[in-house]
Structure 1
Amino acid sequence: MEIGRIRNVAFISHGGAGKTSLAEAILFNAGAVSRIGSVENGTSFMDFDPVEIKRKLSIHSKVSSIEWSKHLINIVDTPGYSNFLHETKAAVTAVGGAVVIASAITGVKAETQRVWQYADENDLAKIVFVNKMDKDRADFFRALGDIEKSFNVIPLPIFIPIGKEDDFKGIIDLVKMKAYIYPAEPTAQFRIEEIPAEYAAEAERYRGKLLEAVSETDDALIEKFLEGEELTDEEIEKGLREGTIRKQFIPVLCGSAVKNIGSKLLLEAIIKYLPSPLEREYKIAKNIDTGEDFVAVPDEAEFSAFVFKTFIDPFAGKLSLIRIFSGEMKSDSEVYNTEKEEKERIAQLYLLQGKNHIKIDKAVAGQIVMVNKLKYTDTFDTLCSGRKKVVFPKPELNEPVLAYSIVPKSKDDEDKVSSGLHRLMEEDMGIRVERNEQTGQQLLKGMGQMHIEVVAERLQNKFGVQVELKTPKVPYMETIRSKAKGQGKYKKQSGGRGQYGDVWIEIEPMPRGSGFEFANNIVGGAVPKNYIPAVEKGIYEASREGILAGFPLVDFRVSLYDGSYHSVDSSEMAFKIAGSMAFKKVAAECKPVLLEPIMNLDVFVPDDTTGAVIGDLNSRRGRIANVEPQANGQHIRAEVPMAEVLAYAPDLRSMTGGHGIFTMEFSRYDEVPTHLMEKIIEEQTGA
């Protein structure tokens, strides 16, 4: 395949706009499938994961390679729901253009704005397809205004609709100035007719805007336009391509995915107006041996590629989706993984069409291929020839914002759960799994409630294990505010050799974050040296159980300064118990208090919801540190107790209509207010 005849495009938008339905129609039009799959009916070729079928939404990015007009088009269908946008952010690193699907009903939503930003970060040329023109309340021109307002761009219609809602029956081509009339059946075939008289004035008006925008892409064209000469179809299309790739404007199409109206015209527009790999700004990698930049020129002989997605198949094993940026890749060959410093064997290359795999022997720069069962390679690894050891930059994904404790329903499944989560983490870069040493809970972290629920469902579907999701415990701690002294004496006589240990200790507070410190101040051998480590161990173990509510005590110093022993009855165990007894007695006199984790919160919200979000943070005992203007909104920095933001993600989404996002990280521990401390102690102890 010639590199200039390749197009790599991501379908991006908010969830429910119809990306997958549009991809289904295109697969059918290209002859890749014999029928149009349906997301609603569970017959989609693209959304084939059981959880996707059940929930009727995309949770992974999928690739379909089709041939159209002697071109190879790789379509990457991406998720649009906020919980899965990390998939979209990874996918756009593999393409050169984007088709933004806008709903004629709802226009632009928060998720569309987010993925548009991802496309901008990767310097992608874009075209817009206004979908669902056949649905109730569909309005093409309202969607057009929404696009212009939301993204501060010039949306340039190259097609406008004939009718809308139930009356939507065709499209007017503003380049050729013809009407395309579609039948009721979703065949994508159409009749070419003259523009209906009632649409003639509107078509002329929008064609005038089109010609004006196109003429500005070239001095010769603007001169011709100003002199009143007619631009040819070829000149218009050339100007459209130049302006789209240079991002002077955004061509806008329209149609209906489920009725297969406009999908063939979209394919032609992808070929005509979106860049080939030769025209896209070349990917920059770093040569780790020399420290110099490596420019991955598509027709460069040196092989380089990037793994942007991994799937785990119970039967086929690990499946790696790879975008080749330079050189070529062959089946039955060897490549070098720069990240792992290991050679990998490429047994077989595949093209993808949804869930179908097509064997190929060779792929060139610009292509997206799949390889199975790579031994060392993970998502975001770089593959190269090894002659020049290069690494492509990895996309910066947001950290997970919600955590649940994950518990297997059967204790026998603990190992299966751990193994299954590890495998799922290989294909989902938005998951984190960690064990909280303090609470003992295994925490599953994800991008939202739905994301975590999907992981639990996939554990059951793929690995046959059922789990419960529980709100995680807050890892409270305890500390002291004053010092005290006291004795711990353990004496036991029950016939034969007894047990005897006697210690005097002083406990005092230390600065926050100091942990635990033990000082041996014994003089004169009051406690033999060989028993002192046992005393320290007894004190430390007792401190882990706390004084107030069973939470670990931190930030204190214990000084062992006196004691006594028995030449026969004393032992390490006796002194360990004595140390524990002394700690419990003395620490209770040191004014113990509860500490809670405080989180740094960075919240990004639209201007019109800033007040509501700040008020909500104040109600959560938050401290607002700063509010700074940013593009399309405000950046709020705050400190909030972890207990108040365990389920913040859905609340923020509700307050901001889905437009708010946040990141969160641990800051420090602070004292819990007295009225809340009493409640927590009561909950923990039942007292």
Structure 2
Amino acid sequence: MGAADRNGQPGAAGRAPAADHPGKVRNVVLVGHSGAGKTTLVEALALTTGAVNRAGRVEDGGSVSDHDEIEQRQGRSVQLSLVPVEWDGIKVNVLDTPGYADFVGELRAGLRAADAALFVVSAAQDGEGVGGATRMVWEECAAVGMPRAVVVTHLESARAGFEETAAQVARELGGDDPDAVLPLYLPVHGPAGPDGHAPVTGLAGLLTRRVYDYSSGERAEREPPEELLPLLARSRDRLIEGIIAESEDETLMDRYLGGEDVDVGTLVADLERAVARGTFHPVLAAAPAAAGARQGLGTVELLELVTGGFPTPLERTVPPVTARDGGRTTVTCDPDGPLAAEVVKTSSDPYVGRLSLVRVFSGTLRPDDTVHVAGHGMEDRGHEDHDVDERVGALTSPFGSHQRPVPSAAAGDLVCVAKLARAETGDTLSGADRPLLMEPWQMPDPLLPVAIEAHSKADEDKLSQGLSRLVAEDPTMRLEQNRATGQVVLWCMGEAHADVALERLRGRYGVRVDAVPYRVPLRETFGRPAAARGRHVKQSGGHGQFAICEIEVEPLPAGSGIEFVDRVVGGAVPRQFVPSVEKGVRAQAARGVAMGFPVVDIRVTLSDGKAHSVDSSDAAFQTAGALALREAAAGCRIDLLEPVSEVGVLVPDAYVGPVMSDLSARRGRVLGTEPAGPGRTLVRADVPEIEIGRYAVDLRSLAHGTGRFSRHYARHEPMPAALAAKLREQGATSAAAR
């Protein structure tokens, strides 16, 4: 790496980087909040490696900055993108993830596909710095031992503060060991301009005590200025102690404290091993490429860390794999081993069709191979379970909106696969002769409901196919056909996620839909016992219709459903028509008796009735049974029942009070709290579903992006009389308007 004073060689522009062995691959995911500078950093890396020219293009016209229409319109990344570059003979697959919380599914896919994470933090004082969401992802990476480094961006900003940002990074991400998160370089500032701002012109390597000057647009090496030496010495001592603390050589610390000048090569080797193990996390500095510059400030140092310090796929454990019979099998990162690959992203290209971004964990994938496609189903999210063989289409390496052909993809690499019609995000690709299934990665539950309707009859005909394609691309989205309300509901991660989904339906699949108010599935029940007669008597020539039944209705405990009891004596209602009365009662109960919601938790007793030897029929008694239930409801108090969910809210301790207050304001009953790891608490509560329709959005604001929640249906409970009366009034107004 830069500290060892070696300059890597860029790849050639216009060709796809290639790697025939896992040791020549590095898979790195960029993590950071929206606006931290991830995409700009990727563009600078592409320029430094020669993947693009100074105009940001390659020979075939592609650009790393090519975005889809939605990203161009919104001015932010909304999907995972892969940019492969080459440095010093190493292929670096850079996975750029969206920074907005709604697209956490894209981030999860990037983490699955990568072997190391690069956290991007803005040094601008008006930026977010290390936000709560960034800390959460850092902790998740730590839990699985993923190597991590930090790059501080926006150094060109007049309000940038590298030292302050590096200190915050060590404090917020270092936890109990801030000395494991330390800078490798310090910014070097040039002369101050008329506005008093001194631009960053280079970086001072703490280990080499050399300055890497970018002021000319090309990286040059020189001696550090005198005024920087004291700060350089202090920072260098701390860095060396941090590296030695992670060294496998237990004598090194004693030798260093005894005054021995440890060789830089030894320090760099120990640093690289500690980074690859995930026990030391270097902090680097970077800025976008200046106009006309070939190398962006800090990009060479960053590439040297990635190629020298980040692990190869050989050093990472392949996710657990099972065989078709369910038995666990061992798979390693071996190009000659059995094929085990995973679809980490699915998208649609207007010219190529469906494209699957695939991480190859074992074996080698080639065009025209027949592979076995297996999925986990996730039927609750609209994903069908499948177990089929498919033929692989062309293999390509993406670059912006362009796809460049590649001959094969060996274990450890990432590649785009065309024409996998059945494969969805999260599916496993394996050899047709040896089907395998990889353990799925964790996906968050979508908790924001968006009810939709087709805009026109033409859209209605295309809606089902468009929705199935949409959810195939995005496993964080769940499609629900709500039988209780008759609505089509897309469950999304947030408002931005929903907006992108509806826009993709329109732009990609030609389906226009309208968002309509989401209806919570309420129910009705009788508030007290009631009795009524259902009389259906008509005579209009020929056979008439005659049926009379008398019923008694009484409420039952919650969860009882509907009971029907026959207590007719003397044959007042002939035996063959008793089931007809029950059928009519149940049909009316399903339609509702007050506001159109299903009636539950009642016992209906048929006590008496009358029949006619000629005019009575099954249909007549069904109608009489329905009329009797409506008549009983007309003279009785009908209660509305609302669904109540068991809610678990996981937040940092600092937000427990505000969260509990907010839940209480939503008519929730807080059941208790319990510790959920260092500095975090789980709040459990029962909350009416009508109050948490937008809780996914509101919690993000309340806990500054650091909270998560789960919800599970618990039961239906009576709605407060005042709220029920308000709903009845709204329903009457809507009916009058129609």
Coarse TM-score class (shorter-chain normalised): over 0.9
Amino acid at match of 1:252: V
Match of 2:680? 633
- Which of 163, 169, 173 is 1:141 aligned to? 163
Gaps of at least 5 residues in structure 1 are: none
Match of 1:234? 265
CA shift, 1:215, in A, is: 2.4
Residue aligned with 2:119, SS: strand
Tell me the alpha carbon deviations over residues 543-584 of structure 1, each in whole angstroms, 9 at most, x when there is no partner: 233233222111122222322211222223321221111111
CA shift, 1:223, in A, is: 5.0
2:310 maps to 1:310:
no
Amino acid at match of 1:116: W
CA shift, 1:371, in A, is: 0.6
CA contact (8 A) 1:47 1:58 kept: no
Q: In structure 2, how many angstroms separate the alpha carbons of the residues matched to 1:387 and 1:457? A: 41
Q: In structure 2, how many angstroms separate the alpha carbons of the residues matched to 1:333 and 1:281? A: 25
2:146 maps to 1:157:
no
CA contact (8 A) 1:331 1:360 kept: no
RMSD: 2.2
Match of 1:33? 52
- Which of 63, 70, 90 is 2:109 aligned to? 90
Amino acid at match of 1:45: V
CA contact (8 A) 2:145 2:278 kept: no
Tell me the alpha carbon deviations over residues 283-304 of structure 1, each in whole angstroms, 9 at most, x when there is no partner: 3322342623423343562221
CA shift, 1:449, in A, is: 0.9
Tell me the alpha carbon deviations over residues 51-101 of structure 1, each in whole angstroms, 9 at most, x when there is no partner: 111111111111121211000111111111100012111221111111111
C-alpha distance 37-529 of structure 1, shift in aligned 2 (>3 A): farther
- Which of 187, 198, 213 is 1:181 aligned to? 213
Q: In structure 1, how many angstroms separate the alpha carbons of the residues matched to 2:464 and 2:341? A: 31
Match of 2:483? 437
CA shift, 1:157, in A, is: 0.8
2:379 maps to 1:357:
no
CA shift, 1:497, in A, is: 2.9
Residue aligned with 2:331, SS: strand
CA shift, 1:47, in A, is: 5.8
Q: In structure 2, how many angstroms separate the alpha carbons of the residues matched to 1:70 and 1:463? A: 41
Scaled by the length of structure 1, the TM-score of the pair is: 0.94
Residue aligned with 1:544, SS: helix
- Which of 541, 548, 564 is 1:518 aligned to? 564
Greater alpha carbon shift after TM alignment, 466-475 vs 526-535: 526-535
Residue aligned with 2:109, SS: helix
- Which of 710, 718, 724 is 1:663 aligned to? 710
C-alpha distance 570-314 of structure 1, shift in aligned 2 (>3 A): farther
Greater alpha carbon shift after TM alignment, 290-299 vs 614-623: 290-299
CA contact (8 A) 1:284 1:296 kept: no
Could you tell me the percent identity over the aligned residues? 36
- Which of 191, 195, 219 is 2:224 aligned to? 195
Match of 1:254? 285
Amino acid at match of 1:14: H
CA contact (8 A) 2:64 2:83 kept: no
Match of 1:71? 90
Aligned pairs (5 A) from 1:540-579:
540-579=586-625
- Which of 242, 249, 253 is 1:213 aligned to? 242
Aligned pairs (5 A) from 1:243-642:
243-257=274-288, 259=290, 260-289=296-325, 291-298=327-334, 301-339=337-375, 340-630=386-676, 631-642=678-689
Residue aligned with 2:78, SS: coil
Match of 2:137? 115
CA shift, 1:387, in A, is: 4.8
Tell me the alpha carbon deviations over residues 481-511 of structure 1, each in whole angstroms, 9 at most, x when there is no partner: 3333332111112333322111122222223
CA shift, 1:252, in A, is: 0.8
Amino acid at match of 1:34: N
CA contact (8 A) 1:11 1:78 kept: yes
Tell me the alpha carbon deviations over residues 418-472 of structure 1, each in whole angstroms, 9 at most, x when there is no partner: 3222111111111112122222221111001111111111222112333222331
Match of 2:379? none
Tell me the alpha carbon deviations over residues 601-648 of structure 1, each in whole angstroms, 9 at most, x when there is no partner: 111222222211211111111111111233333211111111111112
Greater alpha carbon shift after TM alignment, 214-223 vs 136-145: 214-223
Match of 2:64? 45
CA shift, 1:310, in A, is: 0.9
Residue aligned with 2:460, SS: helix
2:680 maps to 1:644:
no
Q: In structure 1, how many angstroms separate the alpha carbons of the residues matched to 2:696 and 2:320? A: 35
2:161 maps to 1:131:
no
Residue aligned with 1:156, SS: coil
Residue aligned with 2:593, SS: coil
Q: In structure 2, how many angstroms separate the alpha carbons of the residues matched to 1:301 and 1:655? A: 49
CA shift, 1:282, in A, is: 3.8
Scaled by the length of structure 2, the TM-score of the pair is: 0.88
Tell me the alpha carbon deviations over residues 75-134 of structure 1, each in whole angstroms, 9 at most, x when there is no partner: 111111100012111221111111111111231012212322342344310111001111
Aligned residue pair count: 680
Residue aligned with 1:666, SS: strand
Amino acid at match of 1:145: A
Greater alpha carbon shift after TM alignment, 355-364 vs 73-82: 355-364
CA shift, 1:44, in A, is: 6.8
Greater alpha carbon shift after TM alignment, 579-588 vs 441-450: 579-588
CA shift, 1:539, in A, is: 1.5
CA contact (8 A) 1:508 1:590 kept: no
CA shift, 1:181, in A, is: 2.0
CA contact (8 A) 1:14 1:110 kept: no
Match of 2:15? none
Q: In structure 1, how many angstroms separate the alpha carbons of the residues matched to 2:85 and 2:658? A: 48
Q: In structure 1, how many angstroms separate the alpha carbons of the residues matched to 2:72 and 2:163? A: 33
Q: In structure 2, how many angstroms separate the alpha carbons of the residues matched to 1:334 and 1:23? A: 34
C-alpha distance 328-408 of structure 1, shift in aligned 2 (>3 A): same
CA contact (8 A) 1:107 1:143 kept: yes
CA shift, 1:140, in A, is: 1.2
CA contact (8 A) 1:92 1:122 kept: no
Match of 2:4? none
Residue aligned with 1:283, SS: coil
Residue aligned with 2:591, SS: coil
CA shift, 1:270, in A, is: 0.2
C-alpha distance 384-358 of structure 1, shift in aligned 2 (>3 A): same
Q: In structure 2, how many angstroms separate the alpha carbons of the residues matched to 1:493 and 1:191? A: 104
Residue aligned with 2:622, SS: helix
CA contact (8 A) 2:63 2:401 kept: no
Greater alpha carbon shift after TM alignment, 294-303 vs 74-83: 294-303
CA contact (8 A) 2:188 2:201 kept: yes
Amino acid at match of 1:212: E
CA shift, 1:240, in A, is: 0.8
Amino acid at match of 2:628: A
Amino acid at match of 2:153: N
CA shift, 1:274, in A, is: 0.3
Greater alpha carbon shift after TM alignment, 476-485 vs 394-403: 476-485
Greater alpha carbon shift after TM alignment, 388-397 vs 583-592: 583-592
Q: In structure 2, how many angstroms separate the alpha carbons of the residues matched to 1:441 and 1:464? A: 21
Tell me the alpha carbon deviations over residues 283-336 of structure 1, each in whole angstroms, 9 at most, x when there is no partner: 332234262342334356222112111112233221111111112222222222
